[in-house]
Structure 1
Amino acid sequence: MSGKSTVACALSRELHYRGHHTYVLDGDNLRHGLNRDLSFKAEDRTENIRRVGEVAKLFADAGTICIASLISPYRRDRDACRALLPDSRFIEVFMDLPLELCEARDPKGLYKLARTGKIKGFTGVDDPYESPVNNKPAWFFDEQTHLVATIPIVIKMEGGECPSPKAMAQQVLSYLEKNGYLQA
């Protein structure tokens, strides 16, 4: 997998250390509770993202920074969540890592199940992922694992290696601080 949950938790910890209230909405956890009635069909993925967006808005309304860590493959669903959160309170993090790396990091064996046909509609295997468009503020990790923002900021790898989750979280924090997202 790409490491979404690991980076989300590291970011949450770093924000907490700086005095911010945070909550991580993790896709796996949500699929076992709030969204357990949903499959991975396109319409259910849309409903999954809609529900997460609504919950994230409730947290934001209460003054809590909500970090949603999940696969949201369809641009229209991400745009719908963005529309729920006024004043640019939606920051998209896109981890654009090679599929081979995601498969190598897959402790649950989901890619293997998808490749053998036991899971249908799996993002990156038999279902597409629609990358963010460049006219919206968005962070993503490119194939060389540079953290890139569409407003063009490039944070380079350290020593030619993939940054640790903590380092990635620090990169996102720097952006949030620089752009005034963490002001009271």
Structure 2
Amino acid sequence: MTKATNITWHETAITKEERRVQNGHGSIVLWFTGLSGSGKSTIANAVSKELYRQGINEYVLDGDNVRHGLNRDLGFTEKDRNENIRRIGEVAKLFVDSGKIVTTAFISPFRADRKQVRKLFEEAEFIEVFIDCPLEECEKRDPKQLYAKARRGEIKDFTGIDSPYEAPVNAEITIHSERSSVEESVTTILDYLRLQKII
């Protein structure tokens, strides 16, 4: 890949802080991470819907959806997974700079990748939300039949089967989705945002 040269950062006429004042709320990324089938997309979209209902500027970046467009050139090797998360981190930062609350639903299995994304943001702008669900429960749910295919050898490098998932050590929010309903999970997350005076 050829790196861009002769480029200069151009400051925007309107700052992130000014956009936040106009919006009446903070701007952060809620970075949902967890195994396939843990409930990331379901909970992220439920949070998004409630924020929208409250008049808060928000947007959801979903793993599968992004791979239909921006990241359609990437596969599932470790190198491609790294690049997938790097790109999403940069896109999420643009949303935060625009004054929005962005929720991202990506397996993002490697701690190092999540740590690199965190470094893109100012302190307290990156909120890691660990959707903690046992592998056995995720396999039981298997909404896309991906675990079944991975067990049959039809999918290689599948997280939790033949590729590791490195759980967060100090996530800001942990949701045990096998014990908490979607509604309870949304309440937990929004309570955190209120406590941090983001909304």
Relative to the length of structure 2, the TM-score reads 0.78
Conserved? CA contact 1:7–1:169, under 8 Å? yes
Cα offset for 1:58?
A: 0.5
What residue in structure 2 maps to residue 120 of structure 1? 156
Alignment match of 1:162 (pick from 175, 179, 188)? 179
Secondary structure at 1:91's aligned position in 2? strand
Q: Which has the larger radius of gyration?
A: 2
Confirm or deny: 8 A CA contact 2:175 2:185 kept in the other structure: no
What is the distance in 2 between the residues matched to 1:44 and 1:138?
A: 26
Contact 1:132–1:138 (8 Å) recurs in 2: no
Tell me how far 1:10 sits from its aligned partner.
0.4
What is the TM-score of this pair, normalised by structure 1?
0.84
SS at match of 1:49: helix
Confirm or deny that 1:176 pairs with 2:193: yes
The answer as to whether partners of 1:39 and 1:45 remain within 8 angstroms in 2 is yes
Question: 1:178 is aligned with what amino acid?
Answer: L
Aligned partner of residue 126 in structure 2, secondary structure: coil
Aligned to 1:141: 175
For the 8 Å contact 1:15–1:21, the answer to whether it is kept is yes
- Looking at structure 2, the residues matched to 140 and 162 of structure 1 have their Cα atoms a distance apart, in angstroms, of 12
Instruction: Assess if the C-alpha contact under 8 Å between 2:131 and 2:175 holds in 1.
Output: yes
Deviations 1:107-150 (A, max 9, x none): 2110011111111111100111111123xx522234xx4xxxxx
For residue 146 of structure 2, the aligned residue among 80, 95, 110 is 110
Matched with 1:36 is 72
Structure 2 SS opposite 1:29: helix
Deviation at 1:164, TM superposition (A): 2.2
Deviating above 6 A after TM superposition, structure 1's stretches of 4 or more consecutive aligned residues are: none
Q: Give the corresponding residue for 2:9.
A: none
- Residue of structure 1 in register with 2:53 after alignment: 17
In structure 2, the residue matched to 1:78 is: 114
From 97, 104, 129, the equivalent of 1:68 is: 104
Higher RCO (CA-CA < 8 Å; seq separation 6+): 2
Aligned partner of 2:30 in structure 1 is none
Find the residue that maps to 1:93 and give its secondary structure: strand
- Structure 2 vs 1, CA of residues 133 and 163 (structure 1 numbering), >3 Å: closer, same or farther? closer
Amino acid paired to 1:140: T
Deviation at 1:101, TM superposition (A): 1.0
Q: How many residues are matched?
A: 163
Q: Identity across aligned pairs (percent)? A: 55
2:125 maps to 89
Does 1:27 find its partner at 2:27? no
SS at match of 1:72: coil
What is the distance in 1 between the residues matched to 2:140 and 2:70?
29
SS of the residue 1:101 aligns to: helix
Amino acid at match of 1:129: Y
Q: CA deviation at 1:33?
A: 1.2
Across the aligned residues of Structure 1 and Structure 2, the Cα RMSD in angstroms comes to 1.4
Where structure 2 has 5 or more consecutive residues not aligned to the other structure, the ranges are 1-36
Q: How far apart in 2 are the matches of 1:12 and 1:119? A: 31
Q: Secondary structure at 2:119's aligned position in 1?
A: helix
